[in-house]
Amino acid sequence: MKNIPGILIAEDENIIAKDIARTLERLGYKVFGSVRTGKDVIEKAKELNPDIVLMDIMLADEMSGIEAAEIIMNTLNIPVIYLTAFADNETLQRAKITEPFGYVLKPFDERTLHSAIEMALYKYQINIELKERTRELEEERNKSNKLLHNIFPSEIVKELKDKGFVEPKEFSNVTLLYTDFQNFTKISSDMHPQQLVSELNDIFKNFDSIINNHGLEKLKTMGDSYIVGGGLPIENNSHAFDVVSAALEMQEYLAQRNNNSKYIWEMRAGVHTGNVVAGVVGKNKFTYDVWGNTVNVASKMERSGIPWRVNISAQTYELIKDCFDCEYHSTIDVKGFGKTDMYFVLKKKFVA
């Protein structure tokens, strides 16, 4: 059975109110009663939650129907139709500001009243559907924005939105961190696939928190490798310090995690500082990536390291040697780059 709309009448003249009520009942609507003051119509609207309020602009107290309508529409979300014998421009302009769902001039006829009510009910339903659709679209937009920010740095997201693409940029001095797990193939072969993904997901989520705390960017993961950049896309002078600090903290986290884990993870970490070109590649699946010899050297630092140590190049060492205790361990020749000394980072130096 179709719901019968309920209507509340706000009219200061009892005779007119009774005439409106009889007309509404004849048209098949349910009348929730009538009130004479602004205060009463607000209270009754809260109590009865009518589908529509027919509001006389002039009521029997200091509050006008326009003021009462504004409260009812804004706080109770109930549509209002104005009843008025005042057609002067000033009154109508004041009424229009509140954006009512219709006007009925007194003396009214039955057809006009019926049309105004049906149109108001239709507009109200359309408004509800539009608001719901807008809310859904806003939720989807927020989800998309969150996903973009999870994939790209904030500055890259802004450039993508503003231009539709990201211009490649050369950075003269950034620091890259490459990590990898010792004996990953053997460990993973002994684990159920779901367990393996769960373990890596837990570790990488904690790595994410660590690098975020140090103002770094996760560039990507490849299998068990985790790659981080410092000094991009916003250049700064602390990138080497930040990356090495994060690498030590990641090693400390793993050591603590291993104390309560069924599986023992041992990580190598390699760090190098130099120039790179950074940009977004891809058509359907975008990736923010970096290219250049610095990438190759950082990867070589990781492969030339040992578990539980952070292995850094001479270029990084020169930038952080005043802040960290380090020890030289060997020199390596990197194809396309040349020879570089390598150092293990031991700990942060105590600063008085």
Q: Are 44 and 17 in contact (CB under 8 A)?
A: no
In angstroms, what CA-CA distances link 36 with 8, 55, 65, 146, 259? 11, 10, 10, 51, 75
172 and 54 in a common domain: no
Residue 159 located in a structural domain: no
**Is residue 150 situated within a structural domain?**
no
Give the CA distances from residue 162 to residues 157, 283, 289, in Å, rounded to whole numbers and listed in that order. Answer: 9, 17, 20
Give yes or no: residues 39 and 171 share one domain: no
- 215 in a domain, yes or no? yes
Q: Give the model's pLDDT for residue 157.
A: 74
Are 76 and 213 members of one domain? no
The structure's pTM equals 0.63
Say which CATH number the domain at 230 has.
3.30.70.1230
Query: 270 and 323 share a domain?
Result: yes
Peptide bond into 233 cis (omega under 30): yes
CATH number at residue 95: 3.40.50.2300
Domain that holds residue 279: 165-348
**Residue 153 within any structural domain of the chain:** no
Quote the crossing angle between the two packed helices 239-258 and 193-213, to the nearest 10°. Answer: 140
Pair 105, 184 in one domain: no
SS in 3 state form for 294-338?
Answer: HHHHHHHHHHCCCCCCEEEEHHHHHHHCCCEEEEEEEEEEECCCE
Residues 339 and 262 in one domain: yes
Q: Is residue 112 part of a domain?
A: yes
H or E, element range at 5:
none
pLDDT tens for the chain, 352 residues long, are 358 999 999 998 899 999 999 999 999 999 999 999 999 999 999 999 999 999 998 888 888 888 999 999 889 999 999 888 765 666 666 656 656 777 787 777 888 889 889 988 888 888 888 888 988 888 888 887 777 777 677 777 777 777 766 777 889 999 999 999 998 888 888 888 899 999 999 999 999 999 999 999 998 888 889 999 999 988 899 999 999 999 999 999 999 999 988 888 999 999 999 999 988 776 666 777 888 999 999 999 999 999 999 999 999 999 999 999 999 999 999 888 899 999 999 999 875 4
Is residue 147 a part of any domain in this protein? no
User: For residue 50, what is the DSSP state?
Assistant: -
Q: Does residue 156 sit within a domain?
A: no
Domain count, the chain: 2
* End position of a domain, from candidates 86, 113, 131: 131
Q: Could you say which of 112, 131, 150 is where a domain stops?
A: 131
For 196, the 3-state DSSP assignment is helix
Among 105, 131, 157, the domain-final residue is: 131
Same-domain status, 205 and 299: yes
Shared domain for 82 and 220, answered yes or no, is no
